[in-house]
Amino acid sequence: MKRAFILGIATALTSLPAWTQAGSSPSETPPASRLPPTTVLKAEDERVAVIDKAKDSVLAVFASTGKGGGSGVVITADGYALSNFHVARPCGNAMKCGMADGQLYDAVIVGIDPTGDVALIKLFGRDDFPHAELANSDQVRVGDWCFAMGNPFMLSTDFQPTVTYGIVSGVHRYQYPSGTLLEYADCIQIDASINPGNSGGPLFDAEGRLIGINGRGSFEKRGRVNVGVAFAISINQIKNFLGYLRSGRIVDHATLGARVGSDEEGRVVVTDILDNSDAYRRGLHYDDEIVSFGGRPISTANGFKNVLGIYPKGWRIPLSFRQGGKRYDVLVRLRGVHGKEELIKKTKARPRVVPMPIPKPGEKPKKVQPKPDRRPIPTDRIKKTVRPKPPMPEVVKKHFQAKRGYANFYFNRLNRDRVWKAWIAQGDFAGLRGTWTLSGQLEQGGGEFQFQLSDADGLLKLPAGEATWTATDDYSSSLSPPHSGGLLPALSLWRRLAVEGPDRFGDVTYLGLVPLAGHEGLVDVLVGLHKGVECHFLFDPVEGHLLAIEMFPDEDVDPCEIYFSEYRQLDGRFLPGRMEVHVGDDLYGVFRFDEFEFEK
Amino acid sequence: MGTNDCNLQLSICNVLLAATAVIASAEAARAAGTSIAQVIDGVQPKIVKIYGAGGFRGMEAYQSGMLVSSEGHILTVFSYVLDTEYITTTLDDGRKFDAKLLGADPRLEVALLKIDAAELPYFDLQQAIEVEEGARVLALSNLFGVATGDEPASVQHGVVSVKTNLTARRGVFETTYRGPVYVLDAMTNNPGAAGGALITRRGELVGLLGKELRNSLSNTWLNYAVPIQQLRESVEAIRSGKFVSERDEKPEEKPQRSLDLAMLGIELVPNVLERTPPYVDRVHPGSPAAEAGIRPDDLIVLLGQRLIQSCKSLRAELEYIDFEDQIKLTVLRGQELLELTLQAK
């Protein structure tokens, strides 16, 4: 604000040359007339048009109590929108969102990513919300023009967003978290003005496509105003998390289970590794050199943290490392940064540092924190001072369900049922409670096989012999057949889900979208908990087919992986023609199905 | 067969290219001009991250610099960050080098470092240009220490708001520099940005980003760069051996009777650190120092044209001066640099 004083003088002296050059290339000579060249005017018109279109998807986010808020951006026609976790958290479960059309819409929290500082919310009232097009933020270059929109200082009362223009100052930046939350990995640094209130708002490229969510500035030294350095969460990172966020969960970021550092020769090497991590089981050891991770070459420790920061817990990511001069290419399953309870606790706690606190009118930066009043507060005073929460609007109430560990359990149910219905549409197994007999040939002339599956037991007949399995209270205690990782209990759980459905299976929730090796695009995952094991069912989000099962007898043990393919129709049901079974790095077997018998 | 066809195709292409080139030359120039990304890629290898003293109470232990010779001369600002024996630098490609403070000109607050490297990309200071008010510029620096290792420096864009002298507001800004500066409309001069490069959008060098300057009246911060023209002479002087802090390997012969501080009537602050800044503690009444106008709390920065960085180096330098010779001391008093002439009695 005060800086404007200096600039005021400057512009008065120099306004003409400054404006005639605006938008033009540096080589352009000033025209004889006072009018800028047509190319300049055209560029300006284009810019104005892009901004005019982009503004329609921008949100001014307000807490229902009227206190606090920030910005956001709509990304789907049915009203899903992005903001920052640090904006959504103080708003609670329901918020109000103002749009450029002048309307105020009710919105509900959907999912939160406290580590990545992202929140997914959903607006109500329309099915044709103007929404932003998501760009490929890996293609953003330093020097590209960009613009930020939002509600800095909560200035706008008619919900018209403020626009600030700038260039990309840096890409693939790493900004340390506060504790384990609010980590900005692989983010985009810009010099467009970002001020308190801009948090959660969109960063657009020059064509008006969404490249990031603005959330952080370097405000350490000069108070709570723009200092020409701000950071946006890349939209590519958010794309990775979007499926998880739609699950209504509090989602976690990932670790490799290993620490890395640069050695004297500048190589990035493993300095510490947990022996119960998937990375360790895939062969990564102390002092191995990290060559590439997530498809990116790794040359610095920050580069490694950048890759780690863009993936959710549980994803399997390609890792290449060098050990004793030999290169290994593996897929590693990422662990969570937090324990489940730890994440819930941290999410509820007051954040230690808020990236962009909104100053109250007339507030001056505080130098001395007043000492907290440690006297116990009489209970009768609490009743007077605690404000009642405003009632949740009806539409929000209908779309909200509280559950521990979830931001909004309603959306978990919604997606669980969507995936279930898509699967069942391919073939209904309801009432087929008798023995299932699956027979066929082992691949490559391995001979005939037959599975017999029922509620209480399972049998696999192979040319070499038979394996049996009997259901107990702890499935992890009998992972039959040997060396299969538990193929019979895993198939039994598949049968159970198909026959009983998610409600009677036990505890079945929606995890989100994950990558699956050999499959283009991400796939839906349902997680079933039953008798001491965790079973992941991976579904094709388009066809609805079950693509894979991963049964985890324990968190720190390689799961039994079952891959189904070559679906064809048999007796009105789509059934797999081929099943591949893996444990860790080993292939257990490939089964080709000829016949399915489902007893009632 | 293939060769002829190829040639034919090539010549057709050339004709086509020539034709389109004429039509689209304006468009192409615009495209080339607006590809800031390419310009930045060309300049980044010349930007250096510098690490040194500091790291407490809001004094960041890093700043920026730029390569100004292929054999590793680095131009930067003269600041407390360089006040250490252990200055390290990281080049754009991630290579790390220990740097030597070759010399500094306290009047311009400019310093020249040297690293032991060769065949580096660099800014030719002779090619630096002057720009007018309203010129569109880019600033490259490692502000806030955002980049580490081989991560490229941060880039900001802006306009030269005015070209003016810092003296215009004497006493308002805490600086000894009184010369012309480019005042910028971008938030460039943040912690760690000092020593960064101001360039045109075609990649031509224009200025050196200065230290953080706070306006003590309005509590605001100035964003500015010092025109390279102001610095060329000093850089040349340092490269030719003036304003340097260290003697060549073969020291000159010392005079039979050297000058010392007692003869001048100067008492320095107690020498408690490896590099205690040479602040004057007491001046003896009636001494040559008193007559020349030296006062307690003056910081001695130059003896003749030699850079003085510690009590120890001042004493050592005096040993090379005959007790009857006249000397010039440059001292920093508040934000004022004063050159004073002294002669022992």
Residues 6+ apart with CB under 8 A from A162: A149, A150, A151, A152, A155, A156, A198
Residues of B in contact with A228 (CB under 8 A): 143, 156, 186-188, 190
Diameter of chain A by CA atoms? 94
- pLDDT tens digits, residue range B309-331? 889 889 988 998 999 899 999 99
Q: Cα separation of A573 and A80, whole Å? A: 34
> In terms of domains, do A545 and A427 share one?
yes
Question: pLDDT (tens digit, 9 = 90+) per residue, B1-50?
Answer: 333 444 434 343 343 333 333 333 334 444 444 588 999 999 999 999 99
Tokens coding A537: 């069912």
Residue that terminates a domain, selected from A336, A371, A396? A336
- Beta strand A162-175 with A145-150 is antiparallel
Higher pLDDT among residues B201 and A445, named by residue? B201
Return the bridge partners of A408, or none: none
In the prediction, which pLDDT does B171 show?
A: 61
- Total tally of structural domains belonging to chain A: 4
A230 shares its domain with A188: yes
Residue A193 sits in a domain whose CATH number is 2.40.10.10
Q: Quote ipTM for the complex.
A: 0.80
pLDDT at B168: 52
pLDDT at A457: 92
A155 plus A261 within the same structural domain: no
Domain contains A350: no
User: Which residue in B238, B136, B222 sits closest to B181, CA to CA?
Assistant: B222
A201 and A318 belong to one structural domain: no
To the query of whether residue A329 is one of the catalytic residues in this protein, the response is: no
Based on the domain organization, do A290 and A240 belong to the same domain? no
Known active-site residue A156? no
The arrangement of secondary structure in B43-239, i.e. its CATH architecture, is Beta Barrel (2.40)
Mutation pick from B162, B199, B204 vs chain A, by most beta carbons of A within 10 Å, is B162
Give pLDDT, residue B214: 82
Residues in chain B: 345
The C-alpha of A237 sits at a distance from chain B's nearest C-alpha, in angstroms, of 19
Does residue A173 fall inside a structural domain? yes
CATH of the domain at A481: 2.50.20
Q: What pLDDT shows up at residue A295?
A: 94
Size of interface A-B (CB pairs under 8 A): 142
The C-alpha atoms of residue B294 and residue B265 are separated, in whole angstroms, by 10
Sign of the CA dihedral running B4, B7, B9, B15: negative
Residue A386 domain-assigned? no
- The rounded distance, in Å, linking the Cα atoms of B36 and A362 is 40
CB A309 within 8 A of CB A183: yes
Encoded amino acid at B53, one letter: A
| Tens digit of each residue's pLDDT, chain A (600 residues) | 333 333 323 333 333 333 334 444 444 555 556 788 999 999 999 999 999 999 999 999 998 877 778 999 999 999 999 999 999 998 889 999 999 999 999 999 999 999 999 999 999 999 999 999 999 999 999 999 999 999 998 888 789 999 999 999 999 998 887 777 788 899 999 999 999 899 999 999 999 999 999 988 766 566 667 889 999 999 999 999 999 999 999 999 999 999 999 888 878 999 999 999 999 999 999 999 999 999 999 988 889 999 999 999 999 999 999 999 999 999 999 999 988 888 888 888 766 556 666 655 555 544 434 334 344 443 334 444 455 667 889 999 999 999 999 999 999 999 999 999 999 999 999 889 999 999 999 998 889 999 999 988 999 999 989 999 999 999 988 899 999 999 999 999 999 999 999 999 989 999 999 999 989 999 999 999 999 999 999 999 999 999 999 999 988 899 999 999 999 999 889 999 999 999 999 999 999 999 999 998
Do A129 and A103 touch, CB atoms closer than 8 A?
no
Q: Which of A2, A189, A191 sits opposite B186 (nearest CB)?
A: A191
Residue A12: per-residue pLDDT: 33
| B80, pLDDT greater than 80 | yes
All residues at 6 or more sequence positions from B145 whose CB lies less than 8 Å from its CB, including other chains: B49, B60, B62, B191, B192
Q: Are residues A550 and A570 in the same domain?
A: yes
Could you tell me if residue A300 is inside a domain?
yes
Residues A448 and A546 occupy one common structural domain: yes
Among residues B164, B118, B136, which one has the least CA distance to residue A18? B136
In this structure, what are the phi and psi dihedrals at residue A280, rounded to the nearest 5 degrees?
Answer: -65, -45
Residue B26's pLDDT is 39
DSSP state of B235: H
Q: Which residues contact B12 (CB under 8 A, 6 or more apart)?
A: none
Asked whether residue A294 is assigned to any structural domain, the reply reads yes
A178 given a catalytic annotation:
no
- pLDDT of A34: 77
Report d(CA A74, CA A54) in Å as an integer: 10
CA distance B206 to chain A (A): 14
pLDDT digits (tens, 9 = 90+) for A364-416: 544 434 334 344 443 334 444 455 667 889 999 999 999 999 999 999 999 99
Catalytic residue, chosen from A106, A113, A117, A558, is A117
pLDDT score for A371? 39
Catalytic residue among A86, A399, A530, A536: A86
Nearest to B228 by CA among B243, B209, B208, B203: B208
CA–CA gap between residue A486 and residue A476 (Å, rounded) = 8
Note whether A240 and A288 are same-domain residues. no
Residues A307 and A240 in one domain: no
- Residue A292's DSSP bridge partners are A297, A320
Q: Does residue A32 sit in helix, strand or coil?
A: coil
Q: Which of A183, A184, A193, A191 is nearest to A153 (CA)?
A: A193
Helix (H) / strand (E) element for B111: namely: strand B110-115
Q: Are A200 and A89 in contact (CB under 8 A)?
A: no
Residue A30: inside a domain: yes
- Decide: B211 and B189 in contact? Cβ < 8 Å: yes
Verify whether the Cβ–Cβ distance A21 to B134 is below 8 Å: yes
**What is the predicted pLDDT for the residue at A114?**
93
Which pLDDT value is given to residue A350? 66
Rounded to whole angstroms, the Cα distance separating A277 from A451 reads 33
Give Cα separations from A366 to A196, A222, A354, A371 (angstroms). 16, 12, 15, 13
B residues 131..190 contacting A (CB < 8 A)? 132-136, 138, 143-144, 146-157, 159, 161-162, 183, 185-188, 190
Cβ atoms of B184 and B203 closer than 8 Å: no
Chain A's closest residue to B34, CA to CA, is A25
pLDDT at res. B167: 65
Q: Are residues A297 and A224 in the same domain?
A: no
Task: Count Cβ atoms below 10 Å from residue A350 Cβ, excluding itself.
Answer: 7
Q: Candidates 2.60.40.1220, 2.30.42.10, 3.40.50.300, 1.10.3720.10; correct CATH number of B261-343?
A: 2.30.42.10
Among A576, A582, A589, which Cα is nearest to A560's? Answer: A582
**How far is A72 from A148, CA to CA, in rounded Å?**
11
Is B215 a residue whose pLDDT tops 90?
A: no
CATH number for the domain spanning A309: value is 2.30.42.10
pLDDT confidence of residue B14: 41
Does A22 share its domain with A170?
no
Residues A563, A521: contact at Cβ < 8 Å? no
Q: Residue A164: which domain range?
A: 137-246
Residues B246-284: pLDDT tens digits?
665 556 688 889 999 999 999 999 988 778 889 999 999
**Chain B residues with beta carbon closer than 8 angstroms to that of A27:** 29, 33, 202
Q: In the listed set A291, A313, A336, which residue is the last one of a domain according to the structure?
A: A336
Residue A153 resides in a domain: yes
Question: Comparing C-alpha atoms, which of A531, A494, A491, A536 is closest to residue A511?
Answer: A536
Q: Show residues of chain A in contact with B153, CB under 8 Å.
A: 170
pLDDT computed for residue A33 by the predictor: 64
Torsion-angle region of B94 (φ positive above 0: left; ψ -120 to 50: alpha; else: beta)? left
* Structure confidence at residue A356 (pLDDT): 63
Q: What does the pLDDT read at residue B169? A: 53
Residue given tokens 């460039």 in the structure block: B188
Task: Please answer yes or no on whether B146 and A167 come within 8 Å at the CB atom.
Answer: no
